[in-house]
Amino acid sequence: MQLRFNGTAPAWPHLLGTMHPFYPVDEPAFMGSASYSVLENNNGSGWEILIDAGHNTLPFLLQNRNRIPDVVMLTHAHPDHILGIDWVVQSNRFKHPEKLLPLYCTRLVFDRFMQIYGHCGEYVEFRELFYGQSFSIAETPGVEITAYPVFHGAGGAGAVGFFIRNTDPKQQSVLLTGDLLCPLFRKADYELLQHASALVVDTNNLLPCPASNHISLAATIPGDEEKEPLLQRWFQTVSWKDYLQAHNSGNEGNTSYFDTLQHDFTEPAQLPHTIMELLKWLPIPEVHLVHYFGKYDELYYNRGLLTREELVALANETAGVEKIRTRFRVPVVGGVIKF
Ligand SMILES: [Zn+2]
Ligand SMILES: [Zn+2]
Band (pLDDT 50/70/90 cuts) for residue 231 is very high
CA of 263 to the centre of ligand 2 (A): 27
Q: Mention every residue, 6+ apart, whose C-beta is less than 8 A from residue 298.
A: 304, 305
Mean pLDDT of 271-290: 97
The confidence score (pLDDT) of residue 115 equals 97
The alpha carbon of 98 and the centre of ligand 1 are apart by a number of angstroms equal to: 32
CA 5 to chain centre: 12
Rounded to the nearest whole angstrom, what is the distance from the C-alpha of residue 76 to the centroid of ligand 2? 7
Count structural domains, the chain: 1
pLDDT above 90: percentage of residues in the chain: 93
Domain region containing 66: 2-338
80 C-alpha to center of ligand 1: Å? 5
Q: Are 265 and 173 in contact (CB under 8 A)?
A: no
Residue 27 backbone phi and psi in degrees, to 5: -120, 100
Q: How far is the CA of 179 from the centre of ligand 2 (A)?
A: 5
pLDDT per position as a tens digit, 67-91: 999 999 999 999 999 999 999 999 9
Å from CA of 169 to ligand 2 middle: 33
Mean pLDDT of all residues belonging to the chain: 95
Query: Does the structure show a pLDDT above 70 at 11?
Result: yes
pLDDT of residue 205: 97
Predicted confidence at residue 323, as pLDDT, reads 95
For residue 40, the model assigns a pLDDT of: 96
Distance from the alpha carbon of residue 10 to the mean position of ligand 1, in angstroms: 5
CATH of the domain at 97: 3.60.15.10
For the segment 253-266, the average pLDDT, to the nearest whole number, is: 93
Closest ligand (CA of 112): 2
CA 11 to ligand 1 centroid distance, Å? 5
What is the CA(8)–ligand 1 centre distance, in A?
9
Distance 180 CA to ligand 1 centre (A): 9
Cβ < 5 A residues, ion ligand 1: 80, 179
Over range 310-329, report the average pLDDT. Answer: 96
Instruction: Tell me the ligand closest to 34's alpha carbon.
Output: 1
Q: Mind listing the pLDDT tens digit for each residue in 19-46? A: 999 999 999 899 999 999 999 987 878 9
Question: Is 228's pLDDT higher than 70?
Answer: no
- Please say whether the beta carbons of 40 and 47 come within 8 A: yes
Q: Rounded to the nearest 5°, which phi and psi values hold at 302?
A: 60, 35
* pTM greater than 0.95 (yes/no): yes
Alpha-carbon distance of 218 to 64, in angstroms, equals 35
Q: Quick check: 226 pLDDT over 70?
A: no
Residue 77 alpha carbon to ligand 2 centre in Å: 7
Return the minimum-mean-pLDDT range out of 89-98, 190-199, 216-225.
216-225
Among 287, 310, 284, which residue's Cα sits nearest to residue 297?
310
Q: Give the ligand whose atoms come closest to the C-alpha of residue 290.
A: 1
Per residue in 130-175, pLDDT (tens digit) is 999 999 999 999 999 999 999 999 999 999 999 999 999 999 999 9
User: What spacing in Å lies between the alpha carbon of 1 and ligand 2's midpoint?
Assistant: 27
pLDDT of residue 42: 77
